[in-house]
Structure 1
């Protein structure tokens, strides 16, 4: 071993030891301190929040929450009548700064054209919440090519097109927040959800990569939050098969919306809902494969096929 290689070896070992015994414990303690002494949530008053999928479900709940907290709400949905109804409801509650736009988020041309209308009518979007998604639930071999293509276009490509439309202004102004809905299915492969799992893994990877890129920008003030919920009562989970229903309840969309809002205003990076199941999903990669099979077979929590 020559001198240069030996020095590099010592530096490598020294940095590893410093990481394990100094850096990691320090930041664990710092994280614990912030948990015990949380910072004040930031205000969304005056922000322009664009939410996809506001015609129903979590998107509709989020629109109400942001409007109630003083934000200007821009709702996108391919279902024009449902979306208009959401905004009429908000206006009936006294929230006037709400706007509805019909948009097919899977279509890049449509996204960019509607984004120009939003800029002209409302202003620059400062909070983007990519919520729209679809979830066919049946075995991989029962999915048609057209269905798989639609899942990827809506659940994945739509994120790229909305980011293309709104992220440049956030970067230019050094101000903004992007929230994307992944899923517990973006943390663990699940039965009857193969293409959906692939799409939600992709969203998580997209957000982690973006966060790393922007982390390297000096004094960056653009934030990224990924949400990974368990089953939610939005209508997408048509046939849930849950053995211990008292402990593994289907989440209420209003509760999920509250947690998303909380995560955004406190700049959380990755949120798993509910937290107790999130902890289990975090630990699963460290289990022996046979233990994972036992867990899945004993604590059945999945979706049955929607074709039968």
Structure 2
């Protein structure tokens, strides 16, 4: 009985904070200044990372750009300098812990303490469990998840000492709801979302509230990682070596493929207004809620009506194939 009474006493707070959150939806959030901050972006040699670097350059930040592709990262750095920012390019393999640690040491010695860390680097393999090679599964987790731990361990101590900084985790809508034939990718992004949420709570417990955290969870982005996305292609199976090549509809589409420019606008705004979780499009938040409260049989019907198609390699074969 005492437990029930204690919970009832929380009801007024629940109502108050719910109303407060609703009202905040209609009040523009103040954007903080990041001028002069040292911003490190992994995977900055192309796509989302490159465009994010350009936006921070316009905001007068000092940029530290990491990518495994030397040509790509130097192109990004050159454009950032043209935009008026100081930019430092480093060739780094984010699947290699020692490469991350050694380059981080060099960054701190030569440039200074990073105050905004954007863990953007990522890899994806569109294949089922059996067609995804063991090294590909390992690389997916090394880049999409474990690298976040190593960069945070390298740069977070200075932020915590100053009680000032920002850790940005670029995850995915696939870190909240699953898509067939992206098993390794979805698993790694679920882990990335867990990293963000766990780190957020840990910083609060350590009373380092000046260190902010943001997690970006977009739908598929048109960066070339997912091949031939569409919404109308039919199911096709074609031989390709020892596996089948499948143009497949996923069980649960979260909307049309996004252009990287629109995602970067949401990301930068989310960082500057210190949003903890950014869904692009915002309807993803509602869809992930539905998965938790709707009956499974209804979800099965809903998923059949919401599909996206992309090329994938299928290694599993049933009898007669």
Q: TM-score, normalised by structure 2?
A: 0.88
Q: Which structure 2 residues correspond to residues 110-189 of structure 1 after superposition, within 5 A?
A: 110-189=99-178
Q: Does 1:14 align with 2:5?
A: yes
CA distance in 2, matches of 1:188, 1:219: 31
- CA distance in 2: counterparts of 1:196 and 1:18, whole angstroms: 42
The 3-state SS of whatever aligns with 2:32 is coil
Q: Give the counterpart of 1:265 among 235, 251, 272.
A: 272
3-state SS in 2 of match to 1:128 = strand
Give, in whole Å, the separation in 1 of the partners of 2:79 and 2:314: 35
Q: Following the alignment from structure 1 to structure 2, what is the Cα–Cα distance between the partners of residues 141 and 219?
A: 44
Q: Which runs of 5+ in 2 are unaligned?
A: 234-253, 316-321
Output the CA distance in 2 between the equivalents of 1:243 and 1:171.
49
1:43-76 CA-to-partner distances (Å, cap 9, x unmatched) read 1101111000010000000000001011111110
**For residues 281 and 142 of structure 2, what CA distance do their matches in structure 1 show?**
27
How many pairs were matched up?
Answer: 295
Correspondence for 1:100? 89
Q: Distance in 2 between matches of 1:272 and 1:264?
A: 13
RMSD over aligned Cα atoms = 1.8
Aligned partners of 1:273, 1:212: CA distance in 2, in Å? Answer: 23
Q: 1:42 aligns with which of 16, 29, 32?
A: 32
Query: Deviation at 1:280?
Result: 1.6
Task: Give the TM-score, by structure 1 length.
Answer: 0.91
Task: Check if 1:274 corresponds to 2:264.
Answer: no
Per-residue deviation at 1:108? 1.3
Partner residue, 1:254: 261
Moved over 3 A (4+): none
Moved more, 59-68 or 212-221: 212-221
Q: What SS is found at the alignment partner of 2:123?
A: coil
- Checking the alignment, whether the CA contact within 8 Å between 2:39 and 2:115 is kept in structure 1 is yes
Offset of residue 301 of structure 1? 2.1
Structure 1 residue 96: Cα displacement: 3.7
For 2:214, the equivalent position in structure 1 comes to 225
Deviations 1:273-303 (A, max 9, x none): 1012332223222111112211221121253
> In the alignment, does 2:298 pair up with 1:291?
yes
Higher helix share: 1
Superposition deviation, residue 164 in structure 1: 0.8
